[in-house]
Amino acid sequence: MEKLLLLVFIFAALALPQTATAQRETVDLIVLGGTIVTMDAEKRVIKNGSIAVKGDSIVAVGKSGPISKKYKSRRKVYARNKV
């Protein structure tokens, strides 16, 4: 039982650094911190939202925190207090 517990602990410790250093996807543009009104059927309004753009496609729309964690870009537009 102790060996099994030790093995589980070792595997968990080895997996932790890999998840912490996960690479963010590079996109061409990120619009950060604005209020986003989606044009989908739900017409969602996302305050402090972000949009990730790659080429001529929007690849992600959502809250700024998760978008910033998943995507990176050299070009950023800060849209705070804008729609």
Cα Rg of the chain (Å, integer): 18
Supply the CATH number for residue 35's domain.
2.30.40.10
In a domain, 63, yes or no: yes
36: in domain: yes
Averaged pLDDT in 10-residue chunks for the chain of 83 residues: 62 60 88 91 92 95 94 93 75
Q: Cα(83)–Cα(48) distance, rounded to whole angstroms?
A: 10
Residue 51 lies in a domain: yes
Neighbours of 27 (CB within 10 A): 22
> Is 0.85 topped by the overall pTM?
no
Domain span at 46: 24-83
Q: Is residue 30 part of a domain?
A: yes
